[in-house]
Amino acid sequence: MPKMRAVQVSKANGPFELVEREIPTPSPGKVRIKIQACGVCHSDSMLKEGLFPHIQYPRVPGHEVAGIIDAVGEKVTAWSVGQRVGVGWYGGHCNSCEACRRGEFILCKNMKIAGISYDGGYAEYMIAPQEALALIPEELSAIEAAPLLCAGITTFNALRNSIARAGDRVAILGIGGLGHLAVQFCSKMGFNTIAIARGKEKETMAKKLGAKQYINSQISDVAQELQKLGGAKVILSTVTHQGAVSAAIEGLSLDGQLVIVGIPFEPIQISALTLIRGNRSIKGWASGTSIDSEDTMRFSALTGVRSINQTFPLEKAAEAYQLMMSGKAHFRVVLTMSHS
Ligand SMILES: [Zn+2]
Ligand SMILES: [Zn+2]
């Protein structure tokens, strides 16, 4: 049997192991992807650290997968060998739970996640169910496409489903892996984009990416600064520090909405009065399905939105992961496969 290289985790908190495995064969309803690139996402820590329930180890992480279909199983009708496809966090749904019956596949109670429920993209090949596939437009390289399949779709889909309308002031809280994409989407969607981050260093970059205003949260009161600008209809929060979220919420306009996509380690503290006085609301947003990924990539191809990436070869997955976890990546980390 022909072999492939893969990087697996054998137990919670175990190391990344570079191993040789047999190249898998797709069963009915599934395809095999020859992987060209896979993004390294903060949510990979759920597998690495065993934070997700019922994980079966060893498991290959990775849910920002871009490659080419190189084999299709029986009963796959809509996809064929040679198509360029991606797989993101959404990795398939059950079709029978209440969320599925309501057509909300991303909220499926039994949703499959690439790199958690089955082996993901830290490998030269993977098997994916056909419903999890998103077509990659030809304008995007595999390295460009990969981060759009989680970081991209999450921010794109949260923004386009928010209450903001063209021309509204929208603030992006945090300019990192998620935030640097959010600023671009926000500005290309026609929102008056305000970037908020710690320190002065990110101002030039944020403005280059499309922000009209920049608020340095280290030296200023974020809520006050937002109110001086007229208040934000939407604040999209990408940060992992709850204090930063609490400090921004009074910057919402009347009827404004805080949309949360980043996951702070601690509960977010909000005064009820802040919400009541302005009819303000808070909501979370859960990524999207494969067709949302396609929309994200098509929008990016159309408007020039691109992730800024640091790339590593597959065998350096541990180093790549460490850089991502340090928060010092500039801005997303992507693994590449050489298929030597
Ligand atoms: Zn992710
Ligand atoms: Zn379901």
Per-residue confidence band for 176, with pLDDT thresholds at 50, 70 and 90: very high
Cα(110) to centroid of ligand 2, in Å? Answer: 5
195 with 314, same domain: the answer is no
Total number of domains in the chain: 2
Using a CB cutoff of 5 Å, list residues around ligand 2, an ion: 93-94, 97, 100, 108
Residue 152: partners with Cβ closer than 8 Å, 6 or more residues away: 181, 185, 293, 296, 297, 300, 305, 307
Do 143 and 215 have their domain in common?
A: no
Strand ranges for the chain from DSSP E? 3-9, 16-22, 30-40, 65-72, 84-87, 125-129, 134-135, 169-173, 192-197, 213-216, 232-237, 252-260, 281-284, 309-313, 332-336
Same domain, 14 and 95: yes
**Boundary of a domain, candidates 284, 299, 322:** 284
Evaluated on CA atoms 162, 302, 30, 338, the torsion sign reads negative
What is the rounded distance in angstroms from the CA atom of residue 232 to the CA atom of residue 255?
Answer: 10
Q: Given 249, 267, 284, which residue is the final one in a domain?
A: 284
Asked if residue 124 and residue 106 are part of one domain, the reply reads yes
CATH of residue 66:
3.90.180.10
Q: Rounded to an integer, what is the distance from CA 129 to the centroid of its chain?
A: 20
The verdict on 261 and 330 lying in the same domain is no
Q: Considering every ligand atom, which ligand is closest to the CA of 104?
A: 2
Question: What band does 284 get if pLDDT is binned at 50, 70 and 90?
Answer: very high
152 CA distance to ligand 2 centroid (A)? Answer: 24
Answer yes or no: do 110 and 163 share one domain: no
CA distance 30 to 37: 20
Rounded CA gap, 260 and 282, in Å? 8
Q: Are 101 and 47 a contacting pair, CB within 8 Å?
A: no
Report pLDDT for 340: 56
Q: Does residue 107 share a domain with residue 202? A: no
In the predicted model, is pLDDT for residue 138 greater than 90? yes
**Mean pLDDT to the nearest integer, 236-242:** 95
Whether 219 contacts 181, CB under 8 Å? no
- Same domain membership, residue 93 and residue 45: yes
pLDDT in tens, 3-55: 999 999 999 999 999 999 999 999 999 999 999 999 999 999 999 999 998 99
- What percentage of the chain reaches a pLDDT higher than 90? 97
The residue segments making up the domain with residue 170 are: 153-284
Where do we find the tokens 């790549």? 320
Q: Say if CB 232 and CB 169 are below 8 A apart.
A: yes
CA of 253 to the centre of ligand 1 (A): 30
Calculate ∠ Cα 309-311-315, nearest 5°: 155
For the cut 80, the answer to whether the pLDDT of residue 57 exceeds it is yes
Going from the Cα of 132 to the center of ligand 2, the distance in angstroms, rounded, reads 14
Give the Å distances, CA to CA, from 172 to 42, 178, 295, 339: 19, 10, 21, 38
Q: Are residues 215 and 278 in the same domain?
A: yes
**How far does the centroid of ligand 1 lie from the alpha carbon of residue 88, in Å?**
7
Distance CA 172, CA 164 (A): 13
Pick the ligand that lies closest to the CA of residue 90: 1
Residue 74 CA to ligand 2 centre (angstroms) = 23
189 with 129, same domain: the answer is no
For residue 286, the CA-to-ligand 2 centroid distance in Å is: 15
Q: Do 259 and 192 belong together in one domain?
A: yes
Which two three-digit tokens encode residue 154? 């999450």
Which ligand is nearest to the Cα of residue 102, counting in written order?
Answer: 2
Tell how strand 169-173 and strand 192-197 pair up: parallel
What is the average pLDDT value for the chain, to the nearest integer? 97
CATH assignment at residue 191: 3.40.50.720
Give dist(CA 331, CA 197) in Å, integer.
14
Q: Do residues 143 and 70 both lie within one domain?
A: yes
Q: What is the pLDDT of residues 310-319, one digit of tens each?
A: 999 999 999 9
- The CA angle 295-299-305, to the nearest 5 degrees, is 130
Ligand 2 centroid to 56 CA: how many Å? 20
How far, in Å, from the CA of 146 to the mean position of ligand 1? 10
For the stretch 102-131, pLDDT in tens is: 999 999 999 999 999 999 999 999 999 999
